[in-house]
Chains A and B, each alone.
Chain A
């Protein structure tokens, strides 16, 4: 054990470890960047490669083609057709159902647990909602496919057993925990003084919650809704199993729907690397990435506003 040597050695090791810590801190940024680059790279030939553009280009993806089937997704065909509008419609349709189903329930539940419920009840409800968050999406998809679909069909009297409503409700189950958690955080972050002041002026608990706490937490609640929306748009296994996957151009919720994400999941395993179909699927992927990215930025902005509002007024 001679002292100077260990000193230099340890100093060297320390420098290395510190360097490693600094480097790995950027892993999330690097990760996001790589995702963008490597998915974007595979999507790019749709704009640049003449070979690919012959089969699939932006106008074929978005504009009406022939008279009989102006928008059709038939990638495996004599003449492959890559109109992604039916997939957009399908995705939005199911997301809409999910959001309409999940957001009222989740916000109601968040209001109840943060404002009205006794502590023990909250301690009971919160873990149950976390339990719901822990259910893997493939299990929700399985449940929607095997069990729920028949009940939904009967309840709404729908001709199609697998349809946008069924898939949307199952998606909603995945969205509820996200909206609930973020909204609950937002509501509980509103300072106690707000509530006390409101009650002191004679407001009822409901008036306090609805007129005072809810507006104060509004940015956070908006963030919750946006995050829930983002989750619903990108979720894959549930819609793959429960939606019927028919690429139709119809806003009818009782009809089946094919989502962008499920299309990638169903078809990517099959395509030849480098074919037009392959690049179109990556194009869908980068679109999903950009959507959710923008939604996340919105959510982030809302949360920042909430923090400013709440902290600024204490």
Chain B
């Protein structure tokens, strides 16, 4: 009898969590849907952000995650390939690398922001300016490239873990066949492993993008701008970003009532974006897992 009570209690936990999610999403969808239209998505903020749309923020977000992806995918995939295809099993190196990846995943986002400022902007950026540009200021200041690289480091563990899972799903026999045909290890990786791991890489990339699109703390000091009259078009431009735009609208607008619908719609857009990405990733991953189960 007591057992049933406790089982019910755990079910209640689930119910509470599901209800909380429903309330949050419901509230945002209810108020966010209203003022959402194509015009809103395609115009820039006007009249001190009390009118107009969020196009520059959407553009900035896409540009940012694109740069981030270019940096993080090769790095993450090669790390996973090394861990799974190159390094000797259970070696010290592997343990250290895995430990570092786990730890990297647990570093608070704001610490990445500090790192971006201290390393990319003050060290790398200033260094480039000093060495190549005679001290003229171009890269030693907040810029989209530094924000993207900071986010790339933040999302590296996501990509590595997802890629590794995909590599694990590839049967050993495939690799053995490749070797028996005289392939070198790199040829094997390129022709056998990579094509089969595309799904996993895609999953990792998408999850990284969805994480990167929503993180605000790392970009606060590394490149996000409150408002820009133009779209970023080079690597050392600043940029507007959806998550940061939400923060700005929620805290800084001069007219609270007029901003509210815009704020809700912006939140709604960001949520739809991240959820669409997440669901795609979950879907691809579940397909990989099903295949993995079938192989076993």
Contacts and interface: CB of A to CB of B under 8 A. Distances in A.
The answer on direct contact between A and B (beta carbons under 8 Å) is yes
Interface of A: 14, 17-18, 20-22, 24-29, 31-32, 34-35, 38-39, 41-42, 104-109, 111-113, 115-117, 125, 127-132, 134-143, 145-147, 173, 176, 180, 204-207, 210, 227, 230-231, 233-237, 241, 261, 264-265, 268-269, 273, 281-282, 285, 288-289, 292-293, 295-297, 299-300
15 contacts: A14-B184, A24-B75, A24-B78, A106-B13, A108-B13, A108-B14, A112-B10, A131-B21, A134-B275, A136-B213, A236-B217, A241-B247, A241-B250, A265-B220, A285-B114
Given A27-B79, A241-B250, A273-B122, A289 B111 contact: yes
B14 A125 contact: yes
Given A21-B78, A28-B79, A137-B216, A127 B282 contact: yes
Interface string B67-79: 0000000110011
Q: Which 7 A-B pairs have the closest CB atoms?
A: A234-B108, A136-B214, A108-B13, A206-B3, A25-B82, A112-B10, A24-B78
Given A25-B83, A109-B13, A136-B270, A18 B186 contact: yes
A35 B214 CA distance: 22
Interface stretch (B36-44, B93-101, B232-240): B93-101
B103 interface: yes
A145 B250 contact: yes
A205 B243 CA distance: 45
A292 B250 contact: no
B108 A292 contact: yes
B46 interface: no
B263 interface: yes
Nearest to B5: A206
B83 A136 contact: no
A72 B150 CA distance: 33
Interface stretch (B50-58, B152-160, B171-179, B287-295): B152-160
B246 A139 contact: yes
Nearest to B123: A38
Given A42-B114, A135-B274, 11 more contacts: A22-B86, A31-B156, A39-B118, A109-B13, A129-B21, A132-B17, A134-B210, A142-B247, A142-B267, A143-B24, A292-B106
Contact of A241 (B156, B220, B251, B282): B251
Contacts of A234: 107-111
B271 interface: yes
Nearest to B216: A138
A134 B102 CA distance: 19
A15 to B, nearest CB: 9
Interface of B: 2-4, 6-7, 9-14, 16-18, 20-21, 24-25, 27-28, 74-75, 78-79, 81-83, 86-87, 96-97, 99-104, 106-115, 117-119, 122-123, 153, 156-157, 160, 184-186, 210, 213-217, 220-221, 243-244, 246-247, 250-251, 263, 267, 270-271, 274-275, 278-279, 282
Given A29-B97, A134-B274, A134-B278, A34 B115 contact: yes
Given A128-B18, A130-B278, A132-B17, A108 B82 contact: no
B50 to A, nearest CB: 17
B246 A138 contact: yes
Contacts of A137: 109, 214-217
Contacts of B10: 108-109, 111-112, 115-116
A28 B115 CA distance: 14
Contacts of B153: 31
Given A21-B78, A32-B100, A109-B17, A230 B106 contact: yes
B216 A125 contact: no
Contact of B246 (A17, A104, A129, A142): A142
B117 to A, nearest CB: 7
